[in-house]
Structure 1
Amino acid sequence: MPDDDLDYWSFIDVAIERTAREQPGLDAAAMRLVLSLYRASNAMVYDLESTVHRPRGWSWPGFRVLFVLWLTAPMEAKRVAQLSGMSRAAVSALVNTLERDGLVSRRKAGHDRRAVELSLTAAGRATMSSAFAAHHDRERTWASALDDDEVATLTRLLDKMMASPVARAANRRH
């Protein structure tokens, strides 16, 4: 395929073919799996961010923080970082913006004066509820490319992958 005809998805085939020439012994199936997961998830995140979250003034990471707080608050900032898959520093910076926008409040945790506990404000809860409805509409649109059995199979396989030792180790680093 000429390079001019490549798109975001078809680049996977070219990347594997050309890498195999440079790296004898390449595990093409593993490379295809990781590139496919990465590119598919990036495309979904870009779509969700551009159609749902940016119009509300949020980034994808901002939504992740709001989503965790919407479902679990009040919660310490370090746990929000763990559950959102972000660093504490990134969560702290995002919370500054979300607090300024009136969506999140913070207070010192009762058990440890150094710890900060985060919650959504009433405006944050209302905004998150309506945003999630739009977010979920896009999730359903993406999922509609597969039938119910395919959705279940893909979900089961991803759960299996994320239960692997390498995934558990990666999750501990957050």
Structure 2
Amino acid sequence: MPDHHTLEETERAMKDHVGNLPLDFAAANALSNLFRAANAVRSELTNRVLRKHDMTWTGFVVLWVVWIWDGMETRHVAESADISKATLTGVVRTLEGRGMIAREGDEKDRRLVRLRLTSEGTELMERIYPEFNAVESEIISQLAERRVSTLTKTLRDVVNAAEGQNSP
């Protein structure tokens, strides 16, 4: 039996293995598929776009967050990128060494540090993001526009439920 299994095979194996337990299989299957989809997309984007720019997923996410918000305090970057402050420190050190990001102290509170993209970081994001989005578009292209809209709303609802927020 191969080590890589389809989603259906995995669902079947799970049910065979734990089918006697009082579980919500619909919830388990939905979130297992969500997790696997997220990992597959992340892997595809890393392999096809980020690797050729010598960029890790986490490095890209940090740059993206700082880029779209035109700078942000480090604790909020870590939260937005869903990484620890310790991980962010290492990522920022690497990006800083590559000339992509700069730290700025807060004039009112020296304990606070803000991150901003350098001109090199901005140029990199303006080059990478269209490539990144082209792969995103290719991945989602098998779905009709209506299904993409439904998927987006459904995923937003899942995130809001996981984060304890109400849907708008």
Q: Same fold (TM over 0.5)?
A: yes
* Distance of 2:121 and 2:4 partners within structure 1: 42
TM-score of the two chains, using structure 2 as the length reference: 0.90
> Does the 8 A contact of 1:108 with 1:117 survive in 2?
yes
> Where in structure 2 are the equivalents of 1:61-140 lying within 5 Å?
61-140=58-137
Give me the whole-angstrom Cα distance separating, in 2, the residues matched to 1:18 and 1:61.
Answer: 36
Between 1:39-48 and 1:86-95, the stretch displaced more is 86-95
Partner SS for 1:141: helix
> Unpaired segments of 5 or more residues in structure 1?
none
Structure 1 104/152 Cα, relative in aligned 2: closer, same or farther at 3 Å? Answer: same
Give the 3-state SS of the residue equivalent to 2:7 in structure 1: coil
What CA RMSD, in Å, does the superposition of the two structures yield over aligned residues? 1.8
The verdict on how the C-alpha distance between 1:131 and 1:88 changes in structure 2, with shifts beyond 3 A counting, is same
Q: Where do 5+ consecutive residues of structure 2 fail to align?
A: none
For residue 50 of structure 1, report the CA deviation from its aligned partner.
1.0
Report how many residues are paired: 165
Shift in CA distance, 73/111, structure 1 to aligned 2, threshold 3 Å: farther
Percent identity between matched residues is 31
Normalising by the residue count of structure 1, what TM-score does the alignment of the two structures yield? 0.87
Distance 1:8 1:92 in 2: 37
1:143 corresponds in structure 2 to 140
* 8 Å CA contact 1:74, 1:117 repeated in 2: yes
- Give the secondary-structure state (helix, strand or coil) at the position aligned to 1:163: helix
Q: Are 1:38 and 2:35 counterparts?
A: yes
Distance 2:163 2:82 in 1: 12
Whether the 8 Å contact between 1:12 and 1:32 is mirrored in structure 2 is no
Q: 1:33 to 1:119 in 2, by over 3 A?
A: same
How big is the shift at 1:6? Answer: 5.0
Q: 1:113 to 1:8 in 2, by over 3 A?
A: farther
**CA offset at residue 24 of structure 1?**
2.1
The 8 Å contact of residues 95 and 104 in structure 1, kept in 2 or not, is answered as yes
Cα 1:121–1:6 shift into 2, 3 Å: closer
Partner in structure 2 of residue 19 of structure 1? 17
- Structure 1 Cα separation of the partners of residues 25 and 59 of structure 2: 35
**SS of alignment partner, residue 4 of structure 1:** coil
Q: Secondary structure at the match of 1:119?
A: strand
Return closer, same or farther for 1:5/1:103 CA change in 2, 3 Å cut-off: closer
Look up the equivalent residue of 1:35 and give its one-letter code: S
Bigger mean CA deviation after superposition, 122-131 or 86-95: 86-95
TM-superposed CA distance for 1:5, in Å, is 8.1
User: 1:12–1:35: 8 Å Cα contact kept in structure 2?
Assistant: no
